[in-house]
Amino acid sequence: MDHQSATAPLLDVRDLRTWFHTFSGTVKAVDGVSFTLAPGEVMGLVGESGGGKSVVGFSLLGLIDPPGRIEGGEILLDGEDIARASEERLRRIRGREIAMIFQDPMTSLNPVKTVGAQMDEMLRLHTDLDEGARKARCVAMLESVGISRAAERLRAYPHQFSGGMRQRVVIAIALLASPRLIVADEPTTALDVTIQSQILKLMRKRIAETGAAMILVTHDLAVVSEMVDKIVVLYCGRVVETGPAREVIANPSHPYTRGLVDSIPNPKHRKPRLAQIPGAVPDIRNLPSGCSFRPRCPRAQARCAEVSPALAPTRGTLSAACHFPILEEVAAAMATTGGERA
């Protein structure tokens, strides 16, 4: 960690608040999220559905539409606050500085445009290359994500590709303009399991080669464990725990993270059911007082209902937002078996 904090951060998100003003009340989808990302660093953004992961991702690209709004905080990209950047400036950032990969490859490509046209668009927007050079670059990029007969495939339409192939195309598009940060929002959730690991391996390899930083959004801790340097855990729009990936997974200090880790399926044990965190994510417009996790937390005490916990160092390299964090280390073997506490 030390060598990273010495480097100037590529991205420094400070107290980001993105709210949606809906008819049924204000949805504080992201409410005070902070994290930093060094150049080339890979970060996992995890949490259950509705935690605000996608909203963080879209906020970084300035793609929050009404009734949503970035209410406060800063998104510093190389020190420039892009949370307040003009649309024109944002358009130069999107694709060129920060690229995004979406969850569902079946819907992220335009059905009436050829794959080639959709790739070419990225280069037309962000480079001065002439047509021949752009085409060569597209072919090379498609090949690098494992698509054969690339020159021919440029003329094909998305519906002529399988889901896995389409996600490769989407990854190729994201990488085309050599962005320094890639936000991948559940890039493999919609794919079947065998293809998931292929795509993740591909992404890891390609991104390591280009030296880009990445935020990998997922609700699946198992997916991130092998891929990321550090993890940020979101719950109800707030960061509840953050730290180096290995430490967060082996010995989380926040009860919520503990619950997530315990529900990772473990192939070595033939458990009939996984340990699930009891209860459901509360309605974000109507959060419980104090700590949002309180109704589901096995460690909750009176104080948890009164004071909302702030993110603070807990143990070693971990920080968590909890009044009563897990300070004892669980033996590594036990931590990964899953289900002990269920």
Partner 1 sequence: MLAYAIKRLVQMAIVLWAVSVIVFLMMSFTGDPVFMVIPIDSTDAEIEQARRILGLDRSMPEQYWLFLQNLVQGDFGRSYVFRQPAMDLILERLPATLEIVIVAMLIAAFVAIPLGVYAGANPGKPLSRLIMSGSLVGISLPGFWVGMMLIFLFAVEWRLLPSSGRGDTVEVLGIETSLLTWDGWTHVILPSVTLSLGTLAIILRITRAGMMEVMRQDYIKFARAKGASRKDVLYGHGLRNALIPVVTIFGLQIGDLIAFATITETIFAWPGMGKLLVDSIYRADRPVIVVYLMLVALIFVVINLVVDLVYTAIDPRITVK
> Of these partners, ligand SF4, Mg ion, partner 1, none, which one is at the site of residue 54 (CB under 5 to 8 Å by kind)?
Mg ion
Complex with ligand ATP: residue 29 or 311, whichever CB lies closer: 29
Q: What length is written for the chain?
A: 342
Give the integer Cα–Cα distance in Å for 243 and 231: 6
Answer yes or no whether residue 255 interacts with ligand SF4 by CB under 6 A: yes
Q: Which does 271 bind (CB under 5 to 8 A by kind): Mg ion, ligand SF4, partner 1, none?
A: none
d(CA 252, CA 4): 21
In sign, the C-alpha dihedral spanning 104, 110, 111, 115 is negative
Closest CA to 69 of 24, 119, 23, 30: 30
Binding region for ligand SF4 (CB under 6 A) out of 7-15, 78-86, 91-99, 287-295: 287-295
Which lies closer to partner 1 via its Cβ, residue 34 or residue 210?
210
- Return the residue of 18, 36, 54, 108 that touches Mg ion, per CB under 5 A: 54
Closer residue to ligand SF4 (CB): 19 or 293 = 293
Which positions from 76 to 115 touch partner 1 by CB under 8 A, shown as an x/- string?
-----------x---xxxxxx--xx-x-x--xxxxxxxx-
Nearer to Mg ion, 28 or 137 (CB): 28
Binding site for ligand ATP (CB under 6 A): 20, 22, 27, 29, 47, 49-55, 68, 219, 284
If one asks whether residue 206 binds ligand SF4 (CB under 6 A), the answer comes out as: no
Distance CA 209, CA 260 (A): 31
Query: Which of 223, 318, 322, 326 touches ligand SF4 by CB under 6 A?
Result: 322
Place of tokens 């550090």: 230
Q: What is the DSSP letter of 310?
A: P
Q: 45 in helix, strand or coil? A: strand
Binding string, 42-81, against partner 1, x = CB under 8 A?
-------------------x-x------------------
Query: Residue 296 binds which one of ligand SF4, ligand ATP, Mg ion, none, with CB within 5 to 8 A depending on kind?
Result: none
- Report the residue number, 302 or 333, with the smaller CB distance to ligand SF4: 302
For residue 137, the minimal CB distance to ligand ATP (Å) is 32
Strand segments (E) across the chain: 11-22, 25-37, 42-46, 68-77, 80-81, 98-101, 181-185, 213-218, 230-235, 238-244, 311-313, 319-321
Q: What DSSP letter does each residue of 250-306 carry, written as one string?
A: HS--SHHHHHHHHTS--TTS--SSPPPPSS-PPPTTSPPSS-TTGGG-TT--HHHHH
The tokens describing 270, both together, are 């033939």
For the four alpha carbons of 309, 311, 314 and 319, in that order, the dihedral sign comes to: positive
Strand order in the sheet with 238-244: 98-101, 181-185, 213-218, 42-46, 230-235, 238-244, 319-321, 311-313
When binding is defined by CB under 6 A, the residue of 300, 311, 318, 335 that contacts ligand SF4 is 300
Question: Nearest CA to 60 among 40, 88, 30?
Answer: 30
Least distance in angstroms from the C-beta of 147 to ligand SF4: 45
Is residue 164 near ligand SF4 by the rule CB under 6 A? no
201 Cβ partners below 8 Å, 6+ apart?
Answer: none
User: Which spans of this chain sit near ligand SF4 (rule: CB under 6 A)?
Assistant: 255, 291, 293-294, 297, 299-300, 304, 309, 322-324
User: Which spans of this chain sit near partner 1 (rule: CB under 8 A)?
Assistant: 61, 63, 87, 91-96, 99-100, 102, 104, 107-114, 121-122, 125-126, 157, 159, 170, 173
